[in-house]
Chains A and B, each alone.
Chain A
Amino acid sequence: MKELEKTKRISIAATLTILIVLIAVLSFERPKHLYKVNSINTLEKIVSADYFVSLDDINNPNYVLIDVRNQFEYEKGNIENAINITTSEILSDNNTDILKEIEEKEKIALLYGARPNDVNGAFLMMTQLGYKNVKILTVNNSYLDNQLITKNVTIEKSVADIQAFIDESVKKASKGVKKKVVVKKPAKKVITVKKKKKAPAEGGC
């Protein structure tokens, strides 16, 4: 069994592999920020959890108010003892430390901005990065002779029943013209989607 003595090649191969593995592991620097919540759980969280806080129960001790607007807006006027973390710098190091510290102290981060829509970005980033207790202050901020006014607002309230408005306008118009106005509702668009054929990984010997 002469071949067992020939180990020159295998030592070269072994050293080469170790080099490659080392380079791979070293070059693989874990990205600083990693999602801790995958997208399906995030979706469930934002659909089910009630993360809205209204203006009146704001003085709960373990709420930490966070203003997500930029520096200038924050200086102009902010709710008292709110800290300023602009959405674009949410991933910066000191902001991450602040948020981690809030997380450790079991405090609830209460985000607010000019309008609730602007807070969405920061809120979703934090939930996906794994911060547990993040809430949104449903509030509109505006300035009256540069005095900050915050008004409560409900999210996504439908302004008017549009269909009723249209029908009513049609009725009003037809009263004027007497003739029955046939308004053809836009035909329902048939949208056929080719079902994603689950091509089974066929194979086998």
Chain B
Amino acid sequence: MVKKKVAKVLDLRYVVLAGILIILAGGLVLLPKYEKHEGIKPEQLLSNVISPERYISTDKLADILINQDPSYLLIDVRDEESYTKYSLPNAINIPLKKLLSEDFEAYLNQDQYNVVLYSNDNFYADQAWIICNRLDYKNLNVLKGGINKWYETIINPPKPTENMPAEAFELYTFRKAASMYFGVAYPEQFKAPVAKKVVPKKVITVKKKKKAPAEGGC
């Protein structure tokens, strides 16, 4: 008799186990679907968006370009046509449309270079920055004011009037020198402009972050 009861209990136990299995499998079906979470959390992205420390001023950028700082990479997010018309030296053109395309991913998603995104103003550059930041790309910055600001400050610096403080004059001379570096010639130069230092060809090799694919087999 006892044997029978034990067998009875065991059957019940198996039924319970089978029930659990069905509930677990069924649970999967009933759980609400949701869009796979891509990129960093919205709260985190919002705090990154608000903080202005992604901006880089035109003076700082001019300084970087003149000293040929190797760790900077310029990316112009405007379309090809305005890129060919004028763009900063050694810049790469990634139009906003093709920002997330496969072959440009090597430039954006790497941690060797400080990337500087810029467009005419920093509207499109900001948009590109926010999307890349959502995908957690490292050390990207945006040129404050874009090419317009670059023109107003570096290429065609405003002459300080007499009652401006001394720094304004220093800033003006720095900017004038910078504009000469970038090709603007000034009439009151007495001697012929010294042969402009050729911007050395800088080869940027972007080392891809190796993500080993899960290979497997039998």
Any A–B CB pair closer than 8 Å: yes
A interface list, Cβ under 8 A from B: 4-5, 7, 10-11, 14, 18, 21, 30-31, 33-40, 42-43, 46-47, 87-88, 90-91, 116-117, 120-121, 124-125, 128-129, 155-163, 165-166, 169-170, 172-177, 179, 181-196, 199-205
Q: 11 A-B residue contacts at CB 8 Å?
A: A5-B10, A10-B17, A14-B17, A35-B39, A121-B50, A165-B156, A174-B185, A186-B198, A186-B199, A196-B105, A200-B213
Question: Do the beta carbons of B46 and A42 come within 8 Å of each other?
Answer: no
With A18-B20, A194-B106 as known contacts, state yes or no: A43 contacts B121, CB within 8 Å: no
Question: Do the beta carbons of B184 and A172 come within 8 Å of each other?
Answer: no
Tell me whether B5 is interfacial, beta carbon within 8 Å.
no
B residues 22-44 touching A (CB-CB < 8 Å): 24, 34-39, 41-43
A-B contacts, CB under 8 A, total: 218
Please give the distance in Å from A84's CB to the nearest CB on chain B.
16
CB 8 Å contact bits of B180-211 with A (1 = contact, 0 = none): 00111111110011011011111111111000
Known: A46-B96, A190-B201, A201-B213. 9 other contacts (CB 8 A): A14-B17, A42-B131, A120-B126, A129-B42, A158-B82, A162-B151, A176-B187, A183-B183, A192-B205
Question: Do the beta carbons of A165 and B155 come within 8 Å of each other?
Answer: yes
Partner of A33, one of B10, B42, B147: B42
With A47-B96, A203-B217 as known contacts, state yes or no: A31 contacts B41, CB within 8 Å: yes
